[in-house]
Amino acid sequence: MLKIRLKRLGAKKSPSFRIIVINSTTKREGRPVEELGWYNPKTKEMKFNKESALDWISKGAQPTETVKYLIANCNDDGTLNYKKKEVVKLSKKAQAKKAAEEEARKAEEAAKAAEAAATEEAPAEEASAEETPEA
């Protein structure tokens, strides 16, 4: 049975992987049937031949979970579709200030919306009042 899996390269504590098609009984660093691309988890860079991988899957090759993830998040040009999450920890004071600003902004938007609705209704009432006496 063929597997699509990662072949580890790189120095100690700085891994880099090749995405390969290999026989399931062969060792991890063994000779691959085909190399599909490479992946660097530290920099989130990847170059991958997605069409070839999908072709091997249609022939019966089984991808590992990591390779399934890479195939699912691969762009058409073979690069990884990765967006880094920005995590910013705020102090309790800063969180309270941010919440207060958000509430003030929402209240201001609601007031503007109510004002706009009131100005839209007033001309409509005047126009209908002008049309009724003439008719």
Residue 132 has pLDDT above 60, yes or no: no
- How much is the pLDDT for 129? 53
Q: Is 83 helix (H, G, I), strand (E, B) or coil?
A: coil
- How much is the pLDDT for 61? 93
- How much is the pLDDT for 76? 78
Find all residues with CB under 8 Å of 19, minimum gap 6, and list them.
4, 5, 6, 7, 35, 36, 37, 38, 39, 48, 53, 67, 70
- How much is the pLDDT for 124? 54
pTM of the shown model = 0.58
Residue 21 has pLDDT above 70, yes or no: yes
What are the strands, taking DSSP E only, across 1-135?
Answer: 2-9, 16-23, 34-40, 45-48, 62-63
Q: What is the pLDDT of residues 71-108, one digit of tens each?
A: 888 887 777 777 666 677 778 888 889 899 999 999 99
What is the pairing mode between strands 34-40 and 45-48?
antiparallel
Q: What is the pLDDT of residues 49-73, one digit of tens each?
A: 989 999 999 999 999 999 998 888 8
Superfamily per CATH, domain 2-72: Ribosomal protein S16 (3.30.1320.10)
